[in-house]
Amino acid sequence: MKENHYFAFVNCTIFDGRVNSEIIPDGVILIHLKKEGNKKFGYIEKVGKKSEIEISEKYKIIDLKDKFVIPGLINAHAHLTGDGKPRKITTKSEKEIKRLLWIARRWIGKKLIKMMMKRNLKNALNSGVTAIRALGDPYYYDLEIRDEIEKDKFLGPRLLVAGKALCITGGHGWYMAHVVDSPWEARKAVRENVRKGVDVIKLISTGGVMDSKRLGEAGRPQMTIEEISAACDEAHRAGLLVAAHAESILGVKEALLGGVDTIEHGADLDEECIKLFKENPKTLRGYASLIPTLSAPINISEWSTKELEMSEIQLQNTLLIKDGIINGFKKAVKNNISIGVGTDATVTFVTHYDFWRELVFMAQYGNLEPKQVIHLATLGNARILGIDNITGSIEPSKSADFVVLNGNVLEDLNYLEKPYMIVIRGRIINRPKIRKIKKIEKLKRKKENMKKNK
């Protein structure tokens, strides 16, 4: 039987991803699934009202009666080497972590980790995430999987990957990073990553939560401005954007002064930070963006150390930076700073299938309309990551990446939780299934039952 390469999605309501565009009722999306060697890529041909688009006989009709269509979601901050399940690894000694890293680089360890990474990607895709920026992998397995997806060996979201991050001796994330202690060492690490073929450079410029040993360590400035500047200059010479983990006002300011393009997490911004976000000649584009990752501190703060399998110090450090991250996001909204959407998936209780919760948090804390946050998570993210010519909106010539939902998501963001259909590069996933983490879901049910019984 001859395979059909033309599809017409009809009778749906469409939000194309542009914040000022009008909703298209009784809409039609025509796509063409092309073959290039062994690869298949689907492109959007036409979008509009059914009354305005002629559908020839070559198109297979897919009736989406009463369904709502939005562009594929983009997670601008995730890690693929974890799934969000509580694990005691965060409290292990340095010697134990080094041993685990050694095992992970052996044949069987690599096989198991890549299996988990692909499972994470499948969960993300089936939840509506069609593109991910993966910000840190100690093994460079993210590059291998990105290339497998591009060669159509594995159906997964479009990936932009950072490979190994950069940190200082004794710094946050040392187990997943190049350790650099001078500007020239920072340049050398960036050059190595560029040689390996990364899409973005990730810096860890301040302390963080997940490996903290002392109260106040999260957000403590670590990389110097000189080290940050050297890394950014080298990355920008290669045309790559730089993302920086920063969780304090001083840390954010120093990262921006060094020329980073996106601040990950953030803090309560002062006037100097706000100005640097909006106008900064040291960045690649002249400005910087904030990716607040609200899911990480909010989710962690809802649980006890026993449930999180984290130390009391780690939990208290989360609580110390939580308000700063939220307040920084609010100020970014108020001051029209470029904002992206990412979850920090792999952090405890932040899974790859609950990206939609980040949008709910952003709407809640930023006082934003559903249309605004969906725009930020689609075309807005695509622009920040530099892939808006490929994806991020439902427009002719772009990749056929979109999500079909059971109701009007512009009235209720909760419709994002269970998509009806996913289309990725023109490939259709009907009734997508998510493999949820039993341990997390069990704890959630237990908490809900306790609330009901009070």
The answer on 252 and 186 residing in a single domain is yes
Residues ≥6 apart with Cβ < 8 Å to 444 = none
CATH number (domain holding residue 417): 2.30.40.10
Contact status, residue 247 vs residue 265, Cβ threshold 8 Å: yes
Tens digit of pLDDT for each residue in 228-278?
A: 999 999 999 999 999 999 999 999 999 999 999 999 999 999 999 999 999
Q: Which of 59, 60, 73, 38 is nearest to 357 (CA)?
A: 73
Predicted local distance difference test score (pLDDT) of residue 15: 98
Whether residues 231 and 347 fall in one domain: yes
φ/ψ of 69, rounded to 5, equals -120, 130
- Total domains in the chain come to 2
Full-model pTM: 0.96
- Which amino acid is residue 137, in one-letter code? D
Q: Could you tell me the two tokens for 352?
A: 């790859």
Task: For 49-71, write each residue's pLDDT tens digit.
Answer: 999 999 999 999 999 998 999 99
Q: What does the pLDDT average to over 21-31?
A: 96
For residue 12, give its domain range. Answer: 6-72+392-430
How far is 5 from 328, CA to CA, in rounded Å?
47
Write down the pLDDT at residue 388: 98
Amino acid 311 reads S
pLDDT at 10 over 60: yes
Q: Residue 419: is its pLDDT beyond 70?
A: yes
Q: How far is CA 127 from CA 67, 355, 415, 445, in A?
A: 16, 8, 11, 20
Type and span of the H or E element at 405: strand 402-405
Question: How much is the pLDDT for 1?
Answer: 43
Residue 1 lies in a domain: no
Q: Name which residue leads in pLDDT, 447 or 122.
A: 122
What percent of the chain is modeled with pLDDT above 90? 88
Would you state the torsion angle of the CA atoms of residues 178, 180, 185, 190, taken in this order, to the nearest 10 degrees?
Answer: 40
The share of the chain scoring above pLDDT 70, in percent, equals: 99
Q: What's the rounded mean pLDDT across residues 369-389? A: 98
Please check whether residues 108 and 227 belong to one and the same domain.
yes
175 lies in the same domain as 313: yes
Range 352-363 average pLDDT: 98
Q: What is the per-residue pLDDT for 179?
A: 97
Cβ atoms 355, 293 nearer than 8 A = no
Residues 377, 332, 216, 181, Cα dihedral to 10°: 80
80 and 68 in a single domain? The answer is no
Structural domain includes residue 454: no
Look at 1-10, 238-247, 332-341 and tell me which has the smallest mean pLDDT: 1-10
pLDDT at 98 over 80: no
Same domain flag for 34 and 116: no
**Which of residues 4 and 283 earns the better pLDDT score?**
283
Q: How confident is the model at residue 88 (pLDDT cuts 50, 70, 90)?
A: confident
pLDDT at position 368 over 80: yes
Average pLDDT, the chain: 94
Q: Is the pLDDT of residue 434 over 90?
A: yes
